[in-house]
Chain A
Amino acid sequence: MNFILLAVIIGLIILAAFGWRFYAKRPLHSKAPMFLLACYTIILILAVPAAYIFIDESSERNAQAEDYISSMLMEDPDTSGSSFTFLFEEENPSEEWKIGAPYTADVNIIVEETEQESVRFYTAPSIVEFNDFSAFIEPKLPAVQNTDSYTYIQLYELEEQELRAVSSIISRENVLRAEMMPENITLSSQVFYLKVPEGTKVAAEDAETPVNFHYVEE
Chain B
Amino acid sequence: MSITAPPAREIILKQLRWKQRYFASIIFAFVIIQAFGIFLSVMNAYHQASFNSTYIRAHSQNNLFFLMILWIFISSLAAPAKANRKIDFTFISTRKISHITNIIFLLLIVSAASLLSVLSHYLIILLVPMIHSPEVFILLPGWMDLLHSFIWWFSCLLLTAAAGYFLSMIYQLTLLWKIVIGGLIFGVFYFDFMPISEGFQMLFSSDIYLITLSVLGASLLFFSSIFIKRKNGGIVI
Contact = CB atoms under 8 A, between A and B. Distances in A.
A43 interface: yes
A70 B20 CA distance: 42
B90 interface: no
Contact of B201 (A85, A93, A118, A126): A118
B49 interface: yes
B205 A124 contact: no
B213 interface: no
Given A32-B24, A123-B60, A135 B116 contact: no
Contacts of B138: 55, 57, 62, 126-128
Contacts, number: 203
B91 interface: no
A50 B137 contact: no
Given A65-B137, A69-B58, A128-B136, A85 B49 contact: yes
B34 to A, nearest CB: 7
B21 A28 contact: yes
A40 interface: yes
Interface in A122-170: 122-133, 135-136, 139-140
A36 B31 contact: yes
Q: Is the interface of A mostly helix, strand, loop or mixed?
A: helix
Contact of A50 (B122, B133, B197): B122
Contact of A33 (B27, B141, B203): B27
Contact of A30 (B24, B50, B125, B152): B24
B125 A55 contact: yes
B61 A123 contact: yes
Given A120-B46, A122-B152, A127 B137 contact: yes
Interface in B132-146: 132-133, 135-141
Contacts of B237: none
Contacts of B57: 128-129
B47 interface: yes
A122 B149 contact: yes
Contact of A124 (B52, B58, B120, B201): B58
Given A69-B137, A122-B148, A54 B123 contact: no
A62 B137 contact: yes
B160 to A, nearest CB: 13
Interface residues of B, number: 62
Nearest to B49: A87
A44 B47 CA distance: 25
B139 A88 contact: no
Given A5-B131, A34-B27, A73-B47, A88 B52 contact: yes
A114 interface: yes
B191 interface: no
Interface in B57-78: 57-62, 64-65
B137 A120 contact: no
A71 to B, nearest CB: 12
A61 interface: yes
B58 A128 contact: yes
Contact of B49 (A54, A72, A126): A72
B140 A135 contact: no
Interface of A: 1-2, 4-5, 28-34, 36-37, 40-41, 43-45, 47-48, 50-52, 54-55, 57, 61-62, 65-66, 69, 72-73, 80-81, 85-90, 93, 114-115, 117-133, 135-136, 139-140
8 contacts: A33-B27, A37-B31, A44-B116, A85-B49, A88-B50, A129-B45, A130-B136, A132-B135
